[in-house]
């Protein structure tokens, strides 16, 4: 039996996460401009799902779930109505808002984890936050991220009215 080394697993997980963040920022930008690309949206949702799933593969000692596992579970729960609202209900009625909230919240969670990881892994940031990250600098950074996503989510919810055909046609890649 072959196995994936922890280093390769970590690198794969990080790469998927960074692709999810990049695609999510593109999707958020498109939503802010009242447009939607099925290609970018699909990449964002698929890599966000993979990010959460691959996070559970890392070995953890038995016991209470870790904060990372709890975040992954919340992310997966948020994706269920998000995917349903887009791919089954095609953003009709209240499902547009369900999708928007879920998409913005899913992106926020990945960026939240990115900030945690930056404070844990970047030597210049470690003295500012400690391990695990906490304290005023870390809290301020997370507060800025939260406010940015709440503001963007509010703007998107207020203005985003895509044509349903745009959300489901393959010709809208790009």
pLDDT in tens, 28-52: 999 999 999 999 999 999 999 999 9
The answer to whether position 62 is within a domain reads no
* Separation of alpha carbons 22 and 40, rounded Å: 10
Would residue 174 count as lying in a domain?
Answer: no
Give a yes or no: residue 61 inside a domain. no
**Contact assessment for residue 49 and residue 102, using Cβ atoms and an 8 Å cutoff:** no
Tell me the C-alpha distance between 19 and 36, whole Å. Answer: 18
Farthest-apart Cα atoms in the chain, separation: 53
Alpha-carbon distance of 61 to 87, in angstroms, equals 37
pLDDT at 63: 76
SS3 of residue 159 by DSSP: helix
Alpha-carbon span 116 to 109, nearest angstrom: 11
User: Which pTM value belongs to this model?
Assistant: 0.86
107 lies in a domain?
Answer: yes
What is the number of domains present in the chain?
Answer: 1
pLDDT 10s digits, 79-114: 999 999 999 999 999 999 999 999 999 999 999 999
Domain carrying residue 161: 6-56+67-167
């Amino acid at each position: 039996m072959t196995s994936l080394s922890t280093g390769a697993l970590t690198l794969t997980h990080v790469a998927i996460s960074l692709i999810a963040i990049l695609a999510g920022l593109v999707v958020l930008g498109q939503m802010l401009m009242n447009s939607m690309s099925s290609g970018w949206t699909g990449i964002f949702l698929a890599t966000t799902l993979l990010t959460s799933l691959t996070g559970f593969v890392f070995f953890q000692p038995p016991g209470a779930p870790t904060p990372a596992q709890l975040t992954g579970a919340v992310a997966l729960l948020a994706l269920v109505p998000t995917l349903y609202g887009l791919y089954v209900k095609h953003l009709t009625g209240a499902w547009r808002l369900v999708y928007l909230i879920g998409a913005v919240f899913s992106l926020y969670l990945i960026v939240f984890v990115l900030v945690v990881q930056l404070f844990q892994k970047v030597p210049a940031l470690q003295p500012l936050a400690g391990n695990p990250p906490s304290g005023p600098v870390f809290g301020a950074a997370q507060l800025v991220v939260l406010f940015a996503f709440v503001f963007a989510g509010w703007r998107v919810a207020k203005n985003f009215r895509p044509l349903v055909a745009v959300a489901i046609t393959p010709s809208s890649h790009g």
